[in-house]
A and B are shown apart, each in its own frame.
Chain A
């Protein structure tokens, strides 16, 4: 069925002759491009199990670049597409993997059983079409550099656009606030925090779902079966103690906004910890940041790539949040 729709399968492991297989795949992609067809592929290479944005993989992108560089095609237009679901239908299966259970292999039976998905409620789904990137134009910009560097720059450009276009959905907003509070809340308190969180998302370079008015956010609680919205008492109530699976579910959703906050969160933690001195020295903050960023390289894509000094980054973002912010002059932060 998939093949008839034009899909082609890629073996990622267990190859007997990997070089032959890759050459065959490159040839096939070259043929598809030459015949003027579109190729849709997932640049992260797999589904993110944690909800965090994954670093781009170079595979298919490499073959496309090679087709362009060897003159098989005159140009190729790369269009980054970001899709966000309010309710991720396989969240239960992903959480199983958080517990260390292995992923079940897909089968025909599973596909048939999965047809029930069409009746599932997904909430809002957003598709953002990013700025198209003509390969001929991009390759001119990086001309003369080694192929690996060109490829990395291209993947980075696409990855950055994808990350920038992630829409923060209501399930993410709810998860961030419920994880922070971990208790029942009045509507009033929740709404106050929600407003500040939405401002934070915008100030830190993210986008909030336009359907995030108070009532619609309250409606999105239906995706969390362990939380009740009590409209009579105007309370958000946790049904019993949150178990690990429930916490994992909220962490998964909250991680969709992880990339927005991680850099500034590191800044705040370093300053608060006193490790960079009191008041904190900017040079020390940078040193510690580099160490921690290396340590967290598996957790966040582009954590240490951005050259903007951490303080500057934080000031730029935080000025959008705090009406007044006082920064000490000189190389220290109070």
Chain B
């Protein structure tokens, strides 16, 4: 880093890169759950639901709508759905 400013920006980017994509992916997962609930689609199986969110996240990452593939994994989606108490 040439200057303190550059260094500071790098550290801020570094820190953001750890958490921002996760929060974005939580938002996408939350949206999907909400959408399903509002459309009355409450009987879909969890595994189908997980696959659907998995595809949505990957599509959004490809289109550059979310920062990275950070949370596009099934492990993350299962965690997110557990937090949102979807079962």
In the complex, what residues of B have CB within 8 A of residue A50's CB?
73, 75-76
Least CB distance, A207 to chain B, in whole angstroms: 18
B83 touches A196 (CB 8 A): no
A272 to B1, CA, bound (A): 22
In the complex, what residues of B have CB within 8 A of residue A261's CB?
14-15, 18-19
Which residues of A pack against B, CB within 8 Å?
A: 49-50, 97-100, 176, 179-180, 182, 192-193, 196-197, 200, 244, 247-248, 251, 254, 258, 261-262, 264-266, 268-269, 272, 292, 295-299, 318, 321-324
**A176 closest partner in B (C-beta):** B14
In the complex, what residues of B have CB within 8 A of residue A251's CB?
69-70, 73
Question: Quick one: which of B6-28 are within 8 Å of A by CB?
Answer: 7-8, 10-20, 22-23, 26
Instruction: Select one of A99, A247, A322 contacting B4, CB under 8 A.
Output: A322
B7 touches A321 (CB 8 A): yes
A200 touches B11 (CB 8 A): yes
In the complex, what residues of B have CB within 8 A of residue A254's CB?
18
Given known pairs A50-B75, A99-B74, A196-B7, the reply for A244 and B58 (CB within 8 Å) is yes
Least CB distance, A278 to chain B, in whole angstroms: 16
Given known pairs A50-B76, A248-B73, the reply for A324 and B4 (CB within 8 Å) is yes
A268 touches B15 (CB 8 A): yes
B74 touches A265 (CB 8 A): no
A100 touches B7 (CB 8 A): no
In the complex, what residues of A have CB within 8 A of residue B54's CB?
100
Given known pairs A248-B73, A295-B26, the reply for A265 and B18 (CB within 8 Å) is yes
B1 touches A192 (CB 8 A): yes
A264 to B16, CA, bound (A): 9
**B81 closest partner in A (C-beta):** A298
**A182 closest partner in B (C-beta):** B68
In the complex, what residues of A have CB within 8 A of residue B82's CB?
298
In the complex, what residues of B have CB within 8 A of residue A266's CB?
19
Per DSSP, chain B at the interface is helix
Q: Does B80 contact A (CB under 8 A)?
A: yes
A-B contact pairs, 10 of them (CB 8 A): A50-B75, A100-B54, A180-B13, A180-B14, A196-B11, A200-B14, A247-B69, A261-B18, A262-B19, A298-B80
A71 to B68, CA, bound (A): 54
B18 touches A262 (CB 8 A): yes
In the complex, what residues of A have CB within 8 A of residue B16's CB?
265, 268-269, 272
Ordered nearest first, which 5 A-B pairs have the shortest CB separation?
A: A98-B73, A100-B74, A298-B79, A265-B15, A265-B19
In the complex, what residues of B have CB within 8 A of residue A318's CB?
11
Least CB distance, A274 to chain B, in whole angstroms: 14
Least CB distance, A313 to chain B, in whole angstroms: 12
B4 touches A292 (CB 8 A): no
A100 to B51, CA, bound (A): 8
In the complex, what residues of B have CB within 8 A of residue A197's CB?
14
Given known pairs A98-B74, A299-B79, the reply for A244 and B8 (CB within 8 Å) is no
Instruction: Provide the B39-57 mask, 1 if CB < 8 A to any CB of A, else 0.
Output: 0000000000011001000
Least CB distance, A129 to chain B, in whole angstroms: 28
Given contacts A100-B74, A196-B10, 20 further A-B contacts (CB under 8 A): A50-B76, A98-B73, A98-B75, A176-B14, A179-B17, A180-B17, A197-B14, A200-B14, A264-B15, A265-B15, A268-B15, A269-B15, A272-B16, A296-B19, A296-B22, A298-B79, A298-B82, A299-B76, A321-B7, A322-B11
In the complex, what residues of A have CB within 8 A of residue B15's CB?
261, 264-265, 268-269
B14 touches A269 (CB 8 A): no
A193 touches B10 (CB 8 A): yes
Least CB distance, A205 to chain B, in whole angstroms: 14
Least CB distance, B22 to chain A, in whole angstroms: 6
**B12 closest partner in A (C-beta):** A268
A179 to B75, CA, bound (A): 19
